[in-house]
Amino acid sequence: MNLQRTQWLPTVVGMVILGAMEVCIPSAGETLNATQVEVKDFMFMPTPLTVKAGSTVTWTNKDDEPHTVVSDTGEFKSGGMDTNESFSHKFDKPGTYHFTCSIHPRMVGTIVVQ
């Protein structure tokens, strides 16, 4: 019985991951026009987000806990964003921009500017 259960679990996990990938792949191609990052459940979504140079990206906090958006290079920094508060930054130059939440540094995200 136990053996059967251990065989089952990886199969179920594998199916869940596959399912998530199927959803993510088509949306990645559409992100050039999307400039919104949702901050929810202690995650930045989507990440990485790909935008065109000159785009303004807006992060909105959907958690009961405040979050911040702080660039690793110091190029942009929000204050504490309470629930439903937003922060925006305009990306003029192509490149890869990593950021974190300074309150919860485990939260990391990336904007790719083309």
Using CB under 8 A, list all residues that contact another protein: 41-43, 63-66, 68, 72, 77, 79-80, 82-83, 98-100, 102-106, 108
In the complex, the smallest distance separating the C-beta of residue 104 from another protein, rounded to whole angstroms, is 6
What amino acid is encoded at 28 in this protein? A
In the complex, the smallest distance separating the C-beta of residue 83 from another protein, rounded to whole angstroms, is 7
Rank residues 72 and 75 by Cβ distance to another protein and give the closer one.
72
Give me the long-range contacts of 34-40 (CB less than 8 A, separation at least 24). 36/60, 37/109, 37/111, 38/62, 39/63, 39/67, 39/69, 39/81, 39/101, 39/107
Rank residues 35 and 63 by Cβ distance to another protein and give the closer one.
63
Rank residues 50 and 100 by Cβ distance to another protein and give the closer one.
100
Q: Both tokens of residue 72?
A: 């690793």
Rank residues 54 and 105 by Cβ distance to another protein and give the closer one.
105
In the complex, the smallest distance separating the C-beta of residue 99 from another protein, rounded to whole angstroms, is 8
In the complex, the smallest distance separating the C-beta of residue 64 from another protein, rounded to whole angstroms, is 5
d(CA 113, CA 91): 7
Which helix or strand (DSSP H or E) is residue 50 part of?
strand 49-51
